[in-house]
Amino acid sequence: MQFVVRGKTPDHLDRSIRIEAESAPQAEAIGWARGIFVTEVITMEEQTRRRSRAIQTLLANTWRWIAPRSTSVFGRTVTGAQSIGFLAAGTATWVLDLRVFHFV
């Protein structure tokens, strides 16, 4: 079974490693042997659930900040989906411009 072991190194850097082990205590022992001060041992399934919850929260918060229905551009009402599309297109254009001019 795969586990994610999180902790800190002796020089106070956060570390996260993926370990194949039979049990959580064995994964923790491997983490300690690799020089990590282990603070958390979770399964890969729990890691996947946490990431999906984080993405869901991000999308929900983004949806709250969408322009209200009364917003209009050039005399036409802009829907929520169009607002997201405009934000996504603007962000993509910005990222491509940064790459073209070698800022990133």
CA torsion, ordered 2, 49, 5, 26, to nearest 10 deg: -40
CA-CA distances (angstroms) from residue 69 to 36, 46, 78, 82, 83? 51, 38, 7, 11, 10
Predicted TM-score (pTM) above 0.85: no
How do the pLDDT tens digits run along the chain, 104 residues long? Answer: 899 999 999 999 999 999 999 999 999 999 999 999 999 999 988 888 888 888 888 888 877 776 566 677 788 888 878 888 888 998 888 888 877 766 65
CATH 3.10.20 fits 2-47, yes or no: yes
**Cβ–Cβ under 8 Å, residues 18 and 4:** yes
Enumerate the domain spans of the chain. 2-47, 67-104
